[in-house]
Amino acid sequence: MQITVLAGGIGGSRFIRGLQRALEQDHPGSQITVIGNTGDDIWIHGLRVCPDLDTVMYTLGGGISAERGWGREDETFTVKDELAAYGVEPSWFGLGDRDIATHLIRTQSLRAGYTLTDVTAALCERWQPGVRLLPMSDDRAETHVVVDDPSGATAPDGAPLRTAIHFQEWWIRYRAELPAHEFILVGIDEARPGPDVLSTISEADLVILPPSNPVVSVGTILQVPGIAEAVRTTSAPVVGVSPIVGGAPVRGMADACLRTIGVETTAAAVAAHYGARSAEGVLDAWLMDTRDAEQVPAVEALGITTRAVPTMMTDIDATAALARECLSAGAVLARA
C-alpha cells in the first residue's frame, strides 16, 4: 500500500517509526511518503536549517538523539560555543556540530541551485530513512509569531508594541511562553507544493495526520496552496491521531499554539478544527486516547469516524499498535 503522512518533527517521526514496524509485519512492500513541514525552517549563522525534515530523517535513519528527540546522538556543541565566544547572535539555537554538516551540505546545494526536495533526497541517501521524504514546498514559507515586543517597548499611548519573530525564536528562546497574538506564514501565498506532493496525496491508499502539532506543523502543511484541497479530494481515507491527551499536549507546546488560534486544548476541539471531509475539512477518522473517550460522541457528531484507543507512543510496540489502529480505521473506511 501507499501511505502518505503529513508530519512535523518529533511526534510525527516517532509515529512513522511505529507505522514502518506495523507495515513490515502486516503489509510488507508498502511505501510511505512523508510530506514534511518546512515552516520552521530558519537561516542560522548563514546555514539553512530544516528542523522538522531533519528530525524525520535522523529519527528514521537511526541518527536522532534518543534523549532530546531532536538533533544527533552523541552531539557536541563546539561550533556553537565558539560562535558565542565571538559574541554573535543568535545564541539560543541548538546548533550541534554533527548537525552542522547536514546544514552545510544543504546550504551549499541550495545556493548552487538545487531544490530543497533534491537536497533532502540527497541527504537521505546517507540516512536511508525507509520513506520518501518530501518537503511540503521548495519555496520559502516561514512561520513567524506576532508577540508584544520582548524589549517591553510601548507606543506613545502606552500600549505594547507588537513585533513578529521567527517561530524558532518563539519556540526555543521563549519556550512558547511569550503570548502569541497570531502566526504569520511569510510567503505561504506564493508557495507551491513540492514536486509529487499533491500526487502522493491524491494517489495514496491512506493519508495519515499523525500526532504532530496541529497548528504549526500539520496546520502549516495544510496551508500550502493546493495541499488541503488535495487532502479533501483524495480517494484515500484520511485518518488523524490526536496529539492532545487529557487536555494537554503529549509533548511540545501545542497548547500555546492552539490558544493563539482560538482552539481549545482538547482532542475533540482539534478534531473540530481539522473538520470532517464531509464538511470542507480534512478528516474521515480521528483516533484519540482512551482517556478522552467521553469526547467520542462530540467528534462523531461532526461526521468524523472516531475511536478511543491507546495513543501514547511509549515504545516501538505501542507505537506500532497505534499505527495499526490507523490502518484498521482506514481499511474500514475504504470498504465503506
Strand partners, 153: none
- Residue 101 CB, shortest distance to a second copy, in Å, is 3
CB-based contacts of 24, cutoff 8 Å, min separation 6: none
Residue placing its CB nearer to a second copy in the complex, 129 or 214 = 129
Three-point CA angle 322, 117, 120, nearest 5°: 70
> For residue 180, which of 263, 119, 116, 112 has the smallest C-alpha distance?
263
- Provide the minimum distance between the beta carbon of 107 and a second copy in the complex, in angstroms, as a whole number: 5
Task: Specify the residue, 79 or 146, whose C-beta has the smaller distance to a second copy.
Answer: 79
d(C-alpha 162, C-alpha 176), whole Å: 16
Least distance (Å) between residue 85 CB and a second copy: 7
Q: What are the backbone angles phi and psi of residue 304, rounded to the nearest 5°?
A: -115, 125
Binding to a second copy (CB under 8 A): which residues in 51-90? 76, 78-79, 82-83, 85-88
CA distances from 280 to 237, 277, 291, 305, 329 (A): 15, 5, 28, 15, 20
- Give the count of beta carbons closer than 10 Å to the beta carbon of residue 101: 13
Shortest spacing between CB 117 and a second copy, in angstroms:
18
Using CB under 8 A, which of the segments 103-111, 191-199, 202-210, 226-234 binds a second copy? Answer: 103-111
Q: Rule CB under 8 A: is residue 199 a binding residue for a second copy?
A: no
By C-beta, is 74 or 294 nearer to a second copy? 74
Minimal CA–CA distance to 20: which of 28, 215, 223, 183?
A: 28
Report, in Å, the least distance between residue 75 CB and a second copy.
Answer: 9
Name which of residues 119 to 138 contact a second copy (CB under 8 A). Answer: 123, 126
CB nearer a second copy, residue 124 or residue 327: 124
Which residue number, 42 or 267, has a Cβ lying nearer to a second copy? 42
CA distance 142 to 167: 8
> In the complex, what is the shortest distance from the CB of residue 151 to a second copy, in angstroms, rounded to a whole number?
23
Whole-number minimum distance, CB 265 to a second copy, in Å?
39
Locate all alpha helices (DSSP H) within the chain, ordered by sequence.
Answer: 10-26, 51-61, 78-86, 97-111, 116-127, 167-168, 197-202, 218-223, 227-233, 254-260, 267-274, 296-300, 316-335
Nearer to a second copy, 97 or 196 (CB): 97
Helix axis angle, 51-61 to 10-26, nearest 10°: 40
Contacts of 3 (CB under 8 A, 6+ apart): 19, 23, 30, 31, 32, 33, 204, 205, 206, 207, 208
Three-class SS state of 143: strand
* Distance in Å, CB of 225 to a second copy, minimum: 30
Q: Which residues between 18 and 57 bind a second copy (CB under 8 A)? A: 45-47
Q: In this chain, which stretch among 99-107, 158-166, 214-222, 230-238 interacts with a second copy, using CB under 8 A?
A: 99-107
Q: CB-wise, 98 or 181, nearer to a second copy? A: 98
Give the residue with the Cβ less far from a second copy, 28 or 86: 86
Binding site for a second copy (CB under 8 A): 45-47, 76, 78-79, 82-83, 85-88, 97-98, 100-102, 104-105, 107-108, 111, 123, 126
